[in-house]
Structure 1
Amino acid sequence: MLYLYVEAPFAVFRTFTAGWYRPTATFVTPSAAYGLILNVAGIESRLLEGDKEHDGRTPASYMGSGLPSFHLALGLPEDRFPRLQSLYQQLHNYPVGQSGKDRASDCHGNKYNITPVRREFLSDLQAIIALDAPGNLQRDVRRGLSGQSSPARYGIPFLGDNAFLIDRLEEIPDLRDRFTSIQWYQTIDKEDGSAHTRATRLTIAIDRANLANTKSALFAPSTASDAETIPESAWIHVGPRK
């Protein structure tokens, strides 16, 4: 078992939405935690557009093959929920269809559609990521945390936006030494008709080649519990199914 503590002044975990309002999940998503762990471990997760296996149909990076699978759980230390904020920005994009094409030549290859949008983000994020993972992956994560970088590692770890860098990312050998209680995010069963405070939909896996295969689930934080007592329903499988 490996416990990671992450702290950041700002973070964002986008859902796949279009339009002028861009929401965020209200806590770290399993898919974001998976990407963060692979980055720290020095595991290249991207299948780039120029790679042979990329079908070329979508101008985006896919998930590569042969990536590790494991279980993780997401915890909130001592009722320290992040705050939900929003701001207005100019969104530069290429519009769908013929709209605005007359402006394309004036922009010399830059994105020629500009529209105001409102974007949500989180502030004062603190989270625990518990890993039930193979020993070699835990070893690689520890090496990454100690600064022993891998040639396959790229960039600096961030949380949803490359301007939102992490203040602190560290292993905590024993959570009870640091926290008196942790609320673990548990999946909500579809047959569960009871009300759950702070329920939120979190993305588990993203498929950019076919968004219909993107997987998410409804989660809610548990009542505060002993730091290392993780409910069974908080454990989430991430990575390819084997």
Structure 2
Amino acid sequence: MMSYKEDCEKYPEGEIGDFYSQNNSCITCGAPEAEAPDLIEHSMKEYGHCYFKKQPSTPDELGRAIKAMEVACVASIRYGGQDEAILKRLYERNLSDLCDHKPAGDYKTIIKNEVRFHYTGRLKDLSRHIAYTLLSKHPWLKSKIVNFDTNTIDFITFTHRWRPFLSGTIYTCHLNDNGTFTIIITLEEDAHLNHIIYAAMHLNEILQQLPGVSHLIWFDTAGNEYPESTEIY
């Protein structure tokens, strides 16, 4: 295992472990804690610096810790461990810059941007539910749904912008001829590639929890197929 980053100082408060907040890097955005409130909290000592009050010990907790890394506004959450499986997940999610060590394997970023599934409801109800859930995820960010368009039959598209000054994520929903549904995620100009990865993670959660949805199959930009699973990364 090769050392990669050795100059990242850990914030001293919190539980010792592989996941940590880089000292003096937190801007108290609240996003990591929102993704993993059972693992992360903000200090009462130093201007609300975030830290891991608990290290992840279950698959679900690990997933939330990784999501916290994904949403941290200034890349303040890092992984200092050497677990190959965790490093693989992080590298495939384009989070290699947040790892203190390099993995043994050569892992490439995977962009899953299309999902097909069965749904017993209407396209209109599906899109409304997705849009509402996106807006309610982090209400303090004042995110918006813009550029809504539909033919009222088998096509709906809208753009979700986390902040007014940020480029958005475009969700395009289709009702297919065979009765299944497809959602394709793309980006507005100048949006970061990681926005697709995070959008896919969040969309997968929404669909997994929506009654009437089944048989989810994700596809990456190379056309590779990923059968239904709880976590897509």
TM-score range, shorter chain: under 0.3
- Higher-strand-fraction structure: 1
TM-score by length of 2: 0.23
TM-score by length of 1: 0.23
Bigger RCO (CA 8 Å, 6+ sep):
1
- Higher-helix-fraction structure: 2
